[in-house]
């Protein structure tokens, strides 16, 4: 494989491999081998990153949008050029197959392009005045200030790319703290921005223990905005902290996406699409289709088709075998999380139709797993599994299915398959989620907003919303002198 890079922090325009708070192992989840040492930033190094982001903000925010665009455009091109190498590092760090990593990076470059273009495109607006001495009422979108960007490991290039590009395009500076297990993916992405000409201090990269780092960065008076992707539990903690310090907070959290399959849908097609999408990235996707609610008339056929396809997915070390379709889980904790879900089945609590047991041996492998008829109060039906487990439940009426779909506090993605146009419209309206896919399972593109409701968070990334999220709205009312 491509050589694993020496891991570094990037602070005030300087790369350093010295973590003043020590270092931590990086592990290849397919083998369990240590592949790198990641430097941990000390409080002093975090303060240096904060100072750099604060000092760089006045100049970067005053840089014309067209210049910011030009730099982001170059960063996107560098990312495209370097994709084959970066994709290998992504696979080594978190296990996804090479083709999925390449696709993730291509999508990331497109997101950077789109958000960079927003810097040229996004103006404010004029509001008609009511008369009197007033001449104009102008609304503008001002960069909010230095932003703290906290990202997870499941899309170790795409999620940071969205946050970094949104922040930098809008004129914000940033301190980026990636997941502990995917530091090199983050570093190679940051290198694209740096090599594209992002000025000193505008983008800083720090590593270390997430809790203390997040607390320190959020509490700093320099920080104006916090953008976090991760679990609902941590999102709530960080949101409380951000509120204490009156910082703008953008949480993109967990989900437990329902998929309603109507009796009039093409069942074979729906089952094939659902099985392929569910196990992408080993199910470690916040919008992964997971709770399958299937009309009773077609339930048996759907379960049989879905489980058959799931059981044929090739699982293995994608770093050494290009034909592997599903890699390992990201770390050992995810295996025990899957085991807890499966432990709450059996009897009238659901039947494991395929998979269900960790694969043993080296690495953190858990097979595609299908639970038929999980009980409504089972762990599967109530908690986000965030892994390769799907559950399938029969329903009698569409309204009953919508009730189950909307029955959790999550509301990120929801999906439905229906050949009836009226029913499809109804489902699009009735499903409580930030994003709904009908007759297909994609709810993300560079141009569209991505975000949830309820315990899945609020606000959006990507699309024009992903730019505006890093701005404050300002009104200027101008009257005759
Ligand atoms: P985890 O909570 O240990 O870590 C997930 C991410 O949160 C990591 O990137 C980590 O750096 C960060 N994190 C953890 N504690 C933090 C803290 N106190 N302050 C700031 N950041 C912190 O969980 P895990 O087992 O690695 O991942 C599974 C869980 O994470 C699931 O519940 C899933 O919902 C969530 N997750 C969500 C997404 C998403 O796209 N929304 C992505 C990855 C993980």
What residue owns the CA closest to ligand 1's atom 44? 230
Pair type for strands 453-454 and 410-411: antiparallel
Q: Is 386 in the pocket of ligand 1 (CB under 6 A)?
A: yes
Low-confidence residues in the chain, pLDDT < 70: 1-2
Cα atoms in the Cβ-side hemisphere of radius 13 Å centred on 447: 0
User: Which SS3 state, helix, strand or coil, does residue 222 take?
Assistant: coil
- The CA 336 to ligand 1 mean position distance, Å, reads 15
Q: Which residues contact 269 (CB under 8 A, 6 or more apart)?
A: none
Q: What is the DSSP letter of 282?
A: G
What pLDDT does residue 238 have? 98
> How far apart are alpha carbons 73 and 169 in whole angstroms?
10
Looking at domain 9-253+457-475, does it have CATH number 2.60.120.680?
no
**Ligand 1: residue whose CA is nearest its atom 18:** 211
Q: Where in the chain is the domain with CATH 3.40.605.10?
A: 9-253+457-475
Helices (H), 139-223: 158-170, 183-195, 210-219
Looking at the annotation, which residues are catalytic? 252, 286
Q: Which atom of ligand 1 lies nearest, measured to the CA of 215?
A: 19
- Ligand 1, atom 30, lies closest to the CA of 231
Predicted pLDDT at 360? 85
Which residue stretches of 370-446 are H helix? 379-382, 398-405, 421-430
Distance 104 CA to ligand 1 centre (A): 19
The pLDDT value given to residue 4: 95
147-201 pLDDT, tens digit each: 999 999 999 999 999 999 999 999 999 999 999 999 999 999 999 999 999 999 9
How many angstroms is it from 192 CA to the middle of ligand 1?
25
Q: Which of 27, 152, 235, 462 has most ligand 1 atoms within 8 Å of CB, for mutation?
A: 152
Rounded to an integer, what distance in angstroms lies between the CA atom of residue 96 and that of residue 90? 7
- Residue 306 exposed, middle or buried by CB count within 10 Å (0-12, 13-18, 19+): buried
If one residue of 206, 231, 384 were mutated to test the ligand 1 pocket, choosing by the most ligand atoms within 8 A of its CB, it would be 231
CA 151 to ligand 1 center in whole angstroms: 8
Residues belonging to the chain = 481
- Topology of the domain covering 257-454: Aldehyde Dehydrogenase; Chain A, domain 2 (3.40.309)
What's the predicted TM-score (pTM) here?
0.97
Instruction: Give the residue, by CA position, lying nearest to ligand 1 atom 33.
Output: 231
Whether the CB of 461 sits within 6 Å of ligand 1: no
Helices (H), 283-331: 299-311
CA of 125 to the centre of ligand 1 (A): 38
**DSSP assignments along 107-134, one per residue:** HHHHHHHHHHHHHHH---EE----STTE
Nearest CA owner, ligand 1 atom 22: 210
For residue 344 and ligand 1, the question of a CB distance below 6 A is answered with: no
CA of 238, closest atom in ligand 1: 19
pLDDT tens sequence across 18-70: 999 999 999 999 999 999 999 999 999 999 999 999 999 999 999 999 999 99
Task: Evaluate: CB of 403 within 6 angstroms of ligand 1.
Answer: no
CA of 443 to the centre of ligand 1 (A): 21
CATH 3.40.309.10 maps onto the chain at 257-454
The single-letter DSSP state of residue 347 is G
**Ligand 1 centroid to residue 466 C-alpha, Å:** 21
Pocket lining: 234 vs ligand 1, CB cutoff 6 Å: yes
Atom of ligand 1 nearest to the CA of 151: 9
Q: 376 in ligand 1 pocket by Cβ < 6 Å? A: no
């Amino acid at each position: 494989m491509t050589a694993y890079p020496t891991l570094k922090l990037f602070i005030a325009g300087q790369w350093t491999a010295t973590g003043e708070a020590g270092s931590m192992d990086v592990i290849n989840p397919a083998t369990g081998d240590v592949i790198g040492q990641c430097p941990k930033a000390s409080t002093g190094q975090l303060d240096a990153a904060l100072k750099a982001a604060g000092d760089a903000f006045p100049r970067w925010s005053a840089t014309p949008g067209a210049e910011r665009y030009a730099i982001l455009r170059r960063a996107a091109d560098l990312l495209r050029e370097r994709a084959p190498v970066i994709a290998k590092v992504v696979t080594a760090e978190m296990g996804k197959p090479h083709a999925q990593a390449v696709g993730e990076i291509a999508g990331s470059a497109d997101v950077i392009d789109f958000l960079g273009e927003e810097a040229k495109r996004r103006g404010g607006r004029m509001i008609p005045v009511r008369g009197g001495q007033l001449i104009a009422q102008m609304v503008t979108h001002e960069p909010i200030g230095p932003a703290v960007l906290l990202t997870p490991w499941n899309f170790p290039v795409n999620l940071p790319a969205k946050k970094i590009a949104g922040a930098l395009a809008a004129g914000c500076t940033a301190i980026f703290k990636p997941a502990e297990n995917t530091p090199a993916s983050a570093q190679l992405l940051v290198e694209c921005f740096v090599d594209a000409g992002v000025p000193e201090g505008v983008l800083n990269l720090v590593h270390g223990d997430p809790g203390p780092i997040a607390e320190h960065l959020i509490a700093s008076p320099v920080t104006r905005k916090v953008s976090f992707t991760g679990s609902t539990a941590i999102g709530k903690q960080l949101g409380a902290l951000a509120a204490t310090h009156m910082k703008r907070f953008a949480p993109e959290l967990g989900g437990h996406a329902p998929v309603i399959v109507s009796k009039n849908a093409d069942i074979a097609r729906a089952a094939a699409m659902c099985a392929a999408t569910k196990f992408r990235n080993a199910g470690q996707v916040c919008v992964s289709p997971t709770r399958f609610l299937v009309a009773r008339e077609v339930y048996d056929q759907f379960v049989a088709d879905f489980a058959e396809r799931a059981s044929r997915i090739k699982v293995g070390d994608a770093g050494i075998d290009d034909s592997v379709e599903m890699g390992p889980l990201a770390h050992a904790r995810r295996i025990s999380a899957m085991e807890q879900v499966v432990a709450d089945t059996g009897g009238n609590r659901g039947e494991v139709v395929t998979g269900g047991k960790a694969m043993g041996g080296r690495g953190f492998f858990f097979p595609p797993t299908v639970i038929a008829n999980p009980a409504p109060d089972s762990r599967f039906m109530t908690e986000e599994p965030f892994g390769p487990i799907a559950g399938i439940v029969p329903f009698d009426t569409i309204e009953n299915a919508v009730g189950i779909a909307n029955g959790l506090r999550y509301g990120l993605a929801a999906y439905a398959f229906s050949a009836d146009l009226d029913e499809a419209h109804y489902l699009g309206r009735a499903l409580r989620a930030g994003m709904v896919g009908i007759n297909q399972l994609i709810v993300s593109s560079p141009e569209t907003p991505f975000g949830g409701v309820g315990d899945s968070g609020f606000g959006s990334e990507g699309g024009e919303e992903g730019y505006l999220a890093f701005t404050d709205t300002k009104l200027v009312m101008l009257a005759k002198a």
